[in-house]
Structure 1
């Protein structure tokens, strides 16, 4: 699977699994009830989904211009760290507001989410690529002549 369909399936599947896992955990940790935690999870998911589309477009734009396009472990780590790092900056205000906690507590909460999602993103992306194959931007090496033109 390639192109826009790949991106849509990847993003929606990623977020659906995340909401299913996070809602009960947030409800348990903050003792706010599953509906309240589920609403936060959905808001976090919608924010992350929008960021996912933007970030993956930018990452693949960069990736297409590399001489070596293979998705190595290091490249997967870079992808996960960049995605989650950007997401932390976006979500702290939302978490603080929704849970009515300080920005510091929201940052700590978000950092906990970062640790979870860092490993989740790494495993999910690897598994997704195994099932659906890697995108064209990550298939093999290209010659220096191909990058110049």
Structure 2
């Protein structure tokens, strides 16, 4: 298991590198100025972080209430991930449309693209992070 210090480093580096990568790429792909996409990226990052905390607490409480167990099967993990993304979409969609003065449909397409980027980015980032900062053998034995 990773330490709290390691989790903090993981989270901060993930967010910082994601912002540095996403904003210029999104600016190029969507044709908006870098500062506009940077703002979208920062608001999205902060919103996702806060939503992640709230959502996971809520989801675990709901599991305890309905199942009296917080163990997540593969099916539950898929439902968990899908509901998280739907919630984040609902939170970000109005902001993106308003801030960029675009339609909700255009904001929806942009949001789906952002979610896809971060899904792929998270996969690659975590693979690299695990190579650069492997879990110590002693921590792997604890279960």
Verify same fold: TM over 0.5. yes
Cross-structure match for 2:66: none
Give how far 1:96 is off.
Answer: 0.6
- Name structure 1 gaps, 5 residues minimum: 141-149
Give how far 1:116 is off.
Answer: 1.8
Quick one: structure 1 residues 99 and 117, their matched pair in 2 at CA, closer, same or farther if it must change by over 3 Å? same
Runs of 4+ in 1 over 6 A off after TM superposition: 59-62
TM-score by length of 2: 0.66
Cross-structure match for 1:20: 20
- Name structure 2 gaps, 5 residues minimum: 64-68
Cross-structure match for 1:92: 93
Decide which moves more: 39-48 or 115-124: 115-124
Q: Is the 8 A contact 2:52 2:84 kept in 1?
A: yes
Superposition RMSD in Å: 3.6
1:21 and 1:115 mapped to 2: Cα distance?
A: 14
Matches within 5 A, 1:50-129: 50-57=50-57, 65-66=70-71, 74=74, 78=78, 80-125=81-126, 127-128=128-129
Aligned residues: 130
Give how far 1:21 is off.
Answer: 1.3
